Amino acid sequence: MEASIEISLTVNGVALSRRVEPRTSLVDFLRYELELTGSHVGCEHGVCGACTVRVDGAIARACLMLAVQADGSVVETIEGLAATGEVFDLQQAFAEENALQCGFCTPGMLLTAQDLLSRAPEAGPEEIREALSGNYCRCTGYHAMVEAIRKTSRARVKGSA
């Protein structure tokens, strides 16, 4: 057993410190240590996108970062984005468009979609599909998600006009 290391970081707006084993991934840290179970563990090698979180403002695979690497960082998970209302309209649109079934991939999808819309508020279907290509869904398929994201995009653009 390698010695644990103390890290300090901000998760969903809360500053905290913990001791972690170096081999603990960021997503396991979030789930087991902080009990933030909204970030899901699918493949553990960066392929499925279910563990997507925001680290210092940029989306990242939380299974491909070690918790020790997040020392000093600002981490945001689906719990944080939902609590602040940042993705409320996206969540609503996913529900209305039947863009989720089992819900396993949904947190990662929402993080990815929110990242896209923050960079490209008027993203078209091709851009949306490309952005979602790094996230797997095994139930409802992707079409309804593309529709939900387009719907959100239109509403936000209209709202800010």
Binding stretches for other proteins (CB under 8 A): 1-3, 5, 21-23, 25, 28, 44-46, 49, 52, 55, 58-61, 63-66, 68-69, 112, 115-116, 130-131, 133-134
Considering the complex, what minimum distance in angstroms separates the CB of residue 117 from other proteins? 13
Q: Which is nearer to other proteins, 2 or 35 (CB)?
A: 2
Q: Which is nearer to other proteins, 34 or 92 (CB)?
A: 34
Q: Which is nearer to other proteins, 14 or 58 (CB)?
A: 58
Per-residue b or e along 115-126, where b marks 16 or more CB atoms closer than 10 Å to that residue's CB: bbbeeeeebeee
Considering the complex, what minimum distance in angstroms separates the CB of residue 63 from other proteins? 7
- DSSP run (H or E) holding 27: helix 26-28
Q: Which is nearer to other proteins, 52 or 77 (CB)?
A: 52
Considering the complex, what minimum distance in angstroms separates the CB of residue 24 from other proteins? 8
Considering the complex, what minimum distance in angstroms separates the CB of residue 52 from other proteins? 5
Considering the complex, what minimum distance in angstroms separates the CB of residue 64 from other proteins? 4
Where in the chain does DSSP place strands (E)? 5-11, 14-20, 52-55, 58-61, 74-76
Q: Determine contact, residues 156/125, Cβ cutoff 8 Å.
A: no
- Radius of gyration from C-alpha coordinates of the chain: 16
Q: Which is nearer to other proteins, 18 or 92 (CB)?
A: 18
The angle formed by the CA atoms of residues 94, 149 and 43, to the nearest 5 degrees, is 70
The angle formed by the CA atoms of residues 58, 43 and 91, to the nearest 5 degrees, is 50
SS3 content of the chain, % helix, strand, coil (to 5): 40, 15, 40
